[in-house]
């Protein structure tokens, strides 16, 4: 067979691996692909170096410079080590490492610990799989300078990744994210990575940290009397083969819930996720098994977490007794409203409390917070921005809760990242609180809509692959900037916020205001009737995402289905006006 012809850059990367200090098994795999003429596979694996982005790295596992493997993760860790040593001169730098259930996550985590240790950094290493929020908690609890979570979140089984954290327990933000990226890019050879461990620099942690984490969560419970009266609330929980199985059942027990059913098939730790197509609680299919069990046992609440337990999806019964999945905006609205309400009813509010959400998350939350006199901050997309505000306001104000439409929530200040463990506990508490009043979670949602307006949100993603796709997305954003729509869904566009230029344009009087957030390639259109449409190219996928929100008054709960249908039609009309 003829030797495959590859682009020079691809061939150069392949040669570097074949001639460099890489293991023989990796080299044999490359030679096999070459002999079989697998040019497409080789190109995809070697056409670039896997980028260390603002939150770390994520990709398909395998051999190659554009794959997740010992060498790409080792290089990332060496770059992070170099930066930490520079940032904290004269200090004993300390880090925490945890991993999820994915294939090879434990092996990768051990290797990462060894590289840190070889750089003179002291490592606290979790003995087994643990949720992302516990890593965030442990960084703060142990006074560490950084941390790494080995996970690809809710991506398919072929993926793995690496989330890097700062001393506050939050994912890296500026300037540290870009500084670490620069250090990683400086590493030109795998020979610069220190793989030989210094064993005395690695300490195993586990049960004691679990106990501290669970105690911190238990202290957040507000409606303990309601839980006691409703302790037999029938709950079904699934970790979808991931880390939620380690701590969600114990935290529900600690809160006082005595009738928690586990989906046993999905309690099995398995990086192949054999019972689902995708281990993503945003997908209906991922909750099917839990819902079927709930139907069979007459349960009232279904909850499922993703592999690293930082996102939660829930299902509740509607007024016909049928299970419905709540979207991320609905769950965030319900939970954040409950926390604000419970604090108010308990007389705990002092005027210094606040909540945080992202700019693409339901503005129903802003309206509810304003009605209760609680400050609501809006951040860019990504929970790291919520964590950043929490760190800035620590000791000055009290964080109650935060959330984003992509099923990530946090209650309490114990962590600086989204936490499905505490979310499960507080969602169950919320269900018990409403049941104690003779209401369901679904009733509570409709009551919110009657009081504040019915909100309908929808996320539409357009996938545009390859170089041409990226150019299409860029052209679309440029078109919206140069020739913005004057009406959407039959209503006039009154405000346009451009987060790339940090300017908010009032189209009614021609005035402009500065946007006090970091620059980001996001456009928002606000209409006269309260609709909000956000356009944002994804930073991790070849997609452009449109977050659409429409709302209308809801006179009575009986009108909900009809109003919801009308809002869905309005969103369809808006997207048609945008040419999507």
pLDDT more than 90, % of the chain: 91
The yes-or-no answer on residue 153 being catalytic is: yes
Contact yes or no for 316/441 (Cβ under 8 A): yes
Taking only the tens place, the pLDDT of each residue in 244-295 is: 999 999 999 999 999 999 999 999 999 999 999 999 999 999 999 999 999 9
- Cα separation, 64 vs 20, whole angstroms: 13
Residue range 213-452 in CATH 3.40.120.10: yes
On the question of pLDDT at 31 being above 50, the answer is yes
The confidence score (pLDDT) of residue 538 equals 78
544 phi, psi to nearest 5 deg: -115, 135
Structure-token pair, residue 207: 């049960």
How far apart (Å, rounded) are the C-alpha atoms in residues 409 and 461? 22
520-551 residues labelled b (16+ CB within 10 A) or e (exposed): bebbbbbbeeebbbbbbbeeeebbbbbbbbbb
Confidence class for position 305, pLDDT limits 50, 70, 90: very high
The total number of residues written for the chain in this structure: 580
Share of residues in the chain with pLDDT > 70 (%) = 98
Q: Name 482's Cβ contacts closer than 8 Å, sequence gap at least 6.
A: none
Categorize the per-residue pLDDT at 383 as very low, low, confident or very high, splitting at 50, 70 and 90.
Answer: very high
Both tokens of 483, joined, read 């020739």
Domain locations in the chain as residue ranges? 1-47, 50-205, 213-452, 454-577
* Helix, strand, coil fractions of the chain, as percent rounded to 5: 40, 20, 35
Q: What is the pLDDT of residue 1?
A: 47
Two tokens, residue 529: 């009737």
* pLDDT tens, residue by residue, 421-454: 999 999 999 999 999 999 999 999 999 999 999 9
Separation of alpha carbons 413 and 399, rounded Å = 6
DSSP secondary structure, 217-267, as one string: HHTT---HHHHHHTTT--EEEE-TTSTHHHHHHHHHHHHT---EEE-HHHH
**CB neighbourhood size of 350 (10 A):** 9
Contacts of 41 (CB under 8 A, 6+ apart): 33
pLDDT tens digit sequence for 336-358: 999 999 999 999 999 999 999 99
CA 331 → CA 7, 22, 221, 362, 391, distances in Å?
48, 47, 18, 10, 25
Number of helices and strands (H, E) in the chain? 19, 23
CATH number 3.30.310 given to 454-577: yes
Instruction: Return all residues near 139 (Cβ < 8 A) that are at least 6 apart.
Output: 95, 96, 146, 147, 165, 167, 168, 169
Query: How confident is the model over 82-104, as pLDDT tens digits?
Result: 999 999 999 999 999 999 999 99
Could you tell me the pLDDT band of residue 142, with boundaries at 50, 70 and 90? very high
Q: What is the pLDDT of residue 3?
A: 61
Given 153, 333, 406, 531, the catalytic residue: 153
Contact between 176 and 88 (Cβ < 8 Å): no
Q: Give the model's pLDDT for residue 483.
A: 93
Note whether 50-205 and 213-452 share their fold.
yes
Residue 376 has pLDDT above 60, yes or no: yes
Residue 180: exposed, middle, or buried by beta-carbon count in 10 A (0-12, 13-18, 19+)? buried
The string of pLDDT tens digits covering residues 233-242 is 999 999 999 9
- List the one residue out of 509, 482, 510, 514 whose CA is nearest residue 497: 514
pLDDT in tens, 530-558: 999 999 987 656 789 999 999 999 999 99
Residue among 277, 278, 276 nearest 290 (CA): 276
Which of these ranges, 54-58, 104-108, 197-201, 202-206, has the smallest mean pLDDT? 54-58
- pLDDT value of position 56: 85
Q: Is the pLDDT confidence value at 112 over 60?
A: yes
3-state secondary structure 351-364: CCEEEEEECCCCCH
CA distances from 217 to 22, 214, 231, 495 (A): 44, 5, 18, 41
> Does 569 have pLDDT greater than 60?
yes
Residue with token string 């509570």: 444
Asked: is 50-205 a CATH 3.40.120.10 domain? The reply is: yes
What DSSP element (H or E) covers 8? helix 8-19
Q: Count of CB atoms within 10 A of residue 370's CB?
A: 12
pLDDT at 463 over 90: no
Kindly report, residue by residue over 35-56, the tens digit of the pLDDT.
999 998 999 999 988 888 767 8
Q: Please indicate, yes or no, whether the overall pTM of this predicted structure exceeds 0.75.
A: yes
Q: What is the pLDDT of residue 174?
A: 86
Beta-sheet strands, E only, within 64-157: 94-99, 122-126, 146-150
């Amino acid at each position: 067979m003829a030797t495959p012809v590859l682009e020079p850059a691809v061939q150069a990367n392949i040669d570097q691996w074949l001639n460099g200090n890489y293991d023989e098994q990796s080299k044999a795999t490359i030679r096999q692909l070459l002999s079989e003429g697998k040019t497409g596979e080789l190109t995809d694996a070697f056409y670039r170096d896997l980028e260390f982005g603002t939150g770390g790295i994520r990709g398909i596992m395998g051999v190659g410079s554009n794959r997740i493997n010992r060498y790409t993760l080792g290089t990332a860790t060496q770059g992070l080590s170099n930066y930490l040593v520079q940032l904290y001169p004269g200090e004993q730098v300390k880090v925490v490492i945890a991993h999820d259930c994915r294939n090879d996550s434990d092996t990768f985590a051990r290797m990462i610990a060894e590289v840190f240790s070889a750089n003179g950094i002291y490592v606290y290493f979790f003995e087994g799989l643990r949720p992302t929020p516990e890593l965030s908690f442990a960084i703060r609890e142990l006074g560490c300078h950084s941390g790494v979570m080995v996970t690809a979140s809710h991506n398919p089984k072929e993926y793995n990744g690496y989330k890097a954290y700062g001393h506050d327990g939050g994912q890296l933000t500026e300037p540290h994210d870009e500084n670490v990226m620069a250090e990683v890019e400086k590493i030109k050879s795998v020979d610069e990575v220190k793989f030989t461990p210094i064993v005395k620099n690695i300490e195993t942690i586990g049960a004691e940290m679990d106990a501290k984490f669970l105690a911190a969560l238990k202290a957040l419970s507000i409606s303990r009397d309601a839980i006691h009266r409703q302790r037999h609330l029938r709950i079904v929980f699934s970790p979808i083969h991931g880390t939620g199985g380690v701590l969600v059942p114990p935290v529900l027990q600690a809160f006082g819930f005595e009738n928690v059913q586990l989906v046993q098939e999905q309690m099995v730790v398995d990086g192949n996720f054999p019972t689902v197509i995708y281990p993503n609680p945003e997908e209906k299919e991922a909750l099917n098994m839990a819902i079927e069990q709930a139907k069979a046992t007459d349960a009232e609440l279904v909850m499922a977490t993703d592999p690293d337990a930082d996102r939660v999806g829930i299902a509740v019964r509607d007024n016909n007794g049928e299970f419905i999945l709540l979207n991320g905006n609905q769950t965030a609205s319900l939970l954040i409203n409950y926390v604000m309400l419970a604090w108010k009813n308990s007389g705990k509010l002092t005027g210094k409390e606040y909540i945080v959400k992202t700019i693409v998350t339901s503005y129903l939350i802003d309206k509810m917070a304003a009605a209760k006199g609680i400050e609501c901050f809006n951040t860019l997309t990504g929970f790291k921005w919520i964590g950043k505000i929490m760190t800035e306001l620590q000791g000055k104000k009290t964080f109650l809760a935060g959330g984003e439409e992509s099923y990530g929530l946090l209650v309490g200040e114990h962590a600086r990242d989204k936490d499905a463990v505490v979310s499960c506990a507080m969602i169950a508490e919320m269900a018990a609180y409403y049941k104690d009043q003779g209401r369901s979670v679904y009733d509570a949602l409709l009551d919110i809509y009657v009081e504040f307006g019915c909100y309908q949100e929808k996320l539409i993603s357009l996938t545009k692959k390859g170089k041409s796709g990226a150019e299409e997305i860029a052209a679309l954003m440029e078109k919206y900037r140069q020739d913005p729509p004057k009406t959407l869904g039959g209503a006039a566009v009154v405000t346009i916020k451009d987060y790339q230029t940090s300017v908010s344009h009032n189209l009614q009087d021609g005035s402009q205001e500065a946007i006090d957030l970091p620059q980001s390639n996001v456009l928002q259109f606000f209409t006269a009737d309260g609709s909000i449409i956000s356009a944002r190219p994804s930073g991790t996928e070849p997609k452009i995402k449109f977050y659409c929100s429409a709302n209308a008054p809801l006179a009575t709960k009986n009108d909900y289905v009809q109003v919801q249908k009308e809002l869905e039609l309005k969103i369809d009309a808006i997207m048609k006006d945008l040419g999507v």
